[in-house]
């Protein structure tokens, strides 16, 4: 539904060049919720602005719903009209809502319809229908200042839907909201995705956002996509940073000469009998350091961190045995284990905000250099 190939954006200002996007290949399938995550300055907003051509890419292509938008950009009045039309099929939701304070809620939602030249009656019908859809039917005549942050964002979403878009782009739509309101806005996006078959590309720096509603995700670092895939694919990718951040399991080796493994299983594969078989077959004592079962992107995932006696070299055969049973096995090396542990501490130490921070620092630990 959205494809970018070799998307590059270089900003030039006062003789300085900043490469915000460095050859981004992204593929968002129709009907999915796709999350792009990365630390500040990674190029997330640049990506979204290049996808709807608010920002002209330096090179590369952007295709949305089968239409090559980059080919339309700057090719005379006819192509310009086509580009505007194509853009009206892309809804955009912003972090700071961008509502006009002098207009009522209904008039804010009508704004894009005015630009599309719709009649007053049609605008009003559509706006009220959309306000009903986002649960704000009774606020049509209110002004933005009379609304809570969550309600303002619902208006922002209703406005984004005015042109009957196939695609909704969201840049940090929940970053200005408290955790409970965040959940309700995410739920609304999920419902719209399902009800309207809307493809949603959302940018966030919060892992919890990805975890709660995304089918697929990409991790951006310094203008590049360094990991991407469906949640299932990511969890099945050895050493995936996104998978580890989506689904952390704690626990530290009890001594130096131990092998620590993260064992991941999806729905059908159960670990319990496999672990006891492993223990019996190789006559080794296995300790469970941490375990969790959770739903990530609608997928039941289990992960267990276990410890085997001896160093990795001594455990190559047991590790092979686990992999043969269809389990995903990541070997936790002592340095990474320490990083993961630090992240866990900060997650446990604070409130939800700190937890997001902790996960973020775990997620982007490598970006610091």
Can you give the binding site for ligand ATP, defined by CB under 6 A?
11, 13, 18, 20, 38, 40-46, 205
* 33 and 193 Cβ atoms separated by less than 8 Å: yes
CA angle 53, 56, 60 (to 5 degrees): 95
What, of Mg ion, ligand ATP, none, does residue 232 touch, CB below 5 to 8 Å by kind? none
Contact residues toward Mg ion (CB under 5 A) are: 45
Closest to Mg ion by CB, 38 vs 251, is 38
Least separation, in Å, of the C-beta of 47 and ligand ATP? 7
CB-based contacts of 115: which residues, under 8 Å, 6+ apart?
A: 88
- Find the helix packing angle between 272-282 and 316-324, rounded to 10°: 140
Least separation, in Å, of the C-beta of 245 and ligand ATP? 16
Least separation, in Å, of the C-beta of 268 and ligand ATP? 37
Nearest residue relative to Mg ion (C-beta)? 45
Q: Which position has the token pair 């965040």?
A: 182
Which two tokens mark 323?
A: 């992999």
Least separation, in Å, of the C-beta of 40 and Mg ion? 7
* 142 and 109 Cβ atoms separated by less than 8 Å: no
**SS3 category, 52:** coil
Closest to ligand ATP by CB, 40 vs 148, is 40
Closest to ligand ATP by CB, 11 vs 282, is 11
Which two tokens mark 331?
A: 């070997």
Closest to ligand ATP by CB, 40 vs 281, is 40
Least separation, in Å, of the C-beta of 147 and ligand ATP? 24
Closest to ligand ATP by CB, 44 vs 303, is 44
Which two tokens mark 113?
A: 């319809």
Closest to Mg ion by CB, 45 vs 269, is 45
Least separation, in Å, of the C-beta of 208 and ligand ATP? 16
- Find the helix packing angle between 334-349 and 352-363, rounded to 10°: 160
Strand order in the sheet with 299-309: 287-296, 299-309, 258-266, 328-332
CA distances from 210 to 14, 91, 123, 131, 308 (A): 37, 20, 34, 26, 32
């Amino acid at each position: 539904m959205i494809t970018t190939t070799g998307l590059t954006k270089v900003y030039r200002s006062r003789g300085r060049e900043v490469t915000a996007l460095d050859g981004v290949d992204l593929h968002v399938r129709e009907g999915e919720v796709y999350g792009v995550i990365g630390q500040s300055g990674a190029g997330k907003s640049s990506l979204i602005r290049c996808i709807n051509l608010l920002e002209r890419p330096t090179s590369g292509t952007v295709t949305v719903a089968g239409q090559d938008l980059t080919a339309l950009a700057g090719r005379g009045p006819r192509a310009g009209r086509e580009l505007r039309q194509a853009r009206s099929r892309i809804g955009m939701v912003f972090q700071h809502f961008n509502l006009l304070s002098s207009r009522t809620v209904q008039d804010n939602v009508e704004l894009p319809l005015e630009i599309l030249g719709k009649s007053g009656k049609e605008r009003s019908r559509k706006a009220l229908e959309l306000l009903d859809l986002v649960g704000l039917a009774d606020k049509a005549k209110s002004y933005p200042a009379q609304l809570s942050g969550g309600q303002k964002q619902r208006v922002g979403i209703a406005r984004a839907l005015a042109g009957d878009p196939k695609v909704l782009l969201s840049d940090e739509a929940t970053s200005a909201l408290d955790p409970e309101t965040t959940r309700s806005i995410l739920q609304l996006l999920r419902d719209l995705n399902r009800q309207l078959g809307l493809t949603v590309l959302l940018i966030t720096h919060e892992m919890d956002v990805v975890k709660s509603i995304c089918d697929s995700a990409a991790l951006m670092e310094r203008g590049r996509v360094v990991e991407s895939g469906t949640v299932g694919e990511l969890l099945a990718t050895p050493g995936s940073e996104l998978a580890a951040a989506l689904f952390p399991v704690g626990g530290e080796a009890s001594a130096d000469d131990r092998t620590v493994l993260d064992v991941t299983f999806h729905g059908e594969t159960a670990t319990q009998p496999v672990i006891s078989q492993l223990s019996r077959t190789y006559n080794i004592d296995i300790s469970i350091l941490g375990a969790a079962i959770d739903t990530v992107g609608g997928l039941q995932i289990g992960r267990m961190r276990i410890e085997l006696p001896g160093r990795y070299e001594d455990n190559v055969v047991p590790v092979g045995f686990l992999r043969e049973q269809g389990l995903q096995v990541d070997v936790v090396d002592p340095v990474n284990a320490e990083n993961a542990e630090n992240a866990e501490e900060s997650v446990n130490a604070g409130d939800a905000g700190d937890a997001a921070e902790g996960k973020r620092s775990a997620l982007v630990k490598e970006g610091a250099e």
